[in-house]
Homo-oligomer: A and B are copies of this chain.
Amino acid sequence: MRLFILPSSFQGEEMVRLEGKEYHYLVRVLRKSEGDSFNASDGKGTLYYATVEEITPSVCTLRVQRRGPLERPFPEITLFQCVPKGKKLDLVVRQAVELGVSRVVPVVSRFSVPRWDSPEEKIKRLRRIAKEAAQQCGSLEVPEILDPLPLGAVVEFFQPKEPERLGLFFHQAPLARTTLHQYLSIYRKAVALVIGPEGGLAKEEVTSLEEGGFFPAYLGPSVLRTETAPVFAVAAVQIILLERLAWKLHQEP
């Protein structure tokens, strides 16, 4: 653990009580004892320093001190993932969080097959996965998992034509008129990536995304499975941003 994430009920109090799962994780899994100190986050961008004050058989009390806001070195990345079959979304959320996305929005598109028996349970489960993944990889914030959105609402939601925003959709065909390096050569506060479902995006969906201000991006000729495409897309964007100072465009546009 690089950063312990405080309970979502935390409002900045000096003393925090952990019970149930959070107690179990800190005391049994991480084996923290009275007097141990570690970094913690409220999951909303603020860093705290926490010390274990007391451990009883069912409650652990932490004393927390505010350390200040966490810096956000990178553009915020939102992954709009068209819902794939079965449990694939679990893996997508876990890996996307590890790779540093700020938000995952499940999207219902024409060819997506979201046969969720209990949508509320599913979203709860995804939020739990996101929290665990953020905790494990020392992420500064717990990424949001939003309720599912129809594809037709993605443009309205993200507003890719606003300044400092970049919307990309990934498509099997090389529709892209330019490279990710070029798209990312200009600073953006927010980047959105739209990934289609198993059956891809429908023609009219591609048209409406393009008209709304999303640009097509291309990841090479390999036909990627729905659970690998988002990982490739996020990883590609991240390495280009991470190494932003190392490269420049071959030909300035």
Contacts and interface: CB of A to CB of B under 8 A. Distances in A.
A216 to B, nearest CB: 15
Contact of A239 (B182, B224, B236): B236
B98 A246 contact: no
Contact of A98 (B222, B243, B247): B222
Interface string A213-240: 0000001111111001001100110111
A7 to B, nearest CB: 22
Interface stretch (A54-62, A131-139, A146-154): A131-139
Contacts of A249: 246-248
Interface in A144-182: 178-182
Contacts of A231: 95, 228, 231-232, 235
Nearest to A133: B225
Contacts of A235: 231-232, 235-236, 239
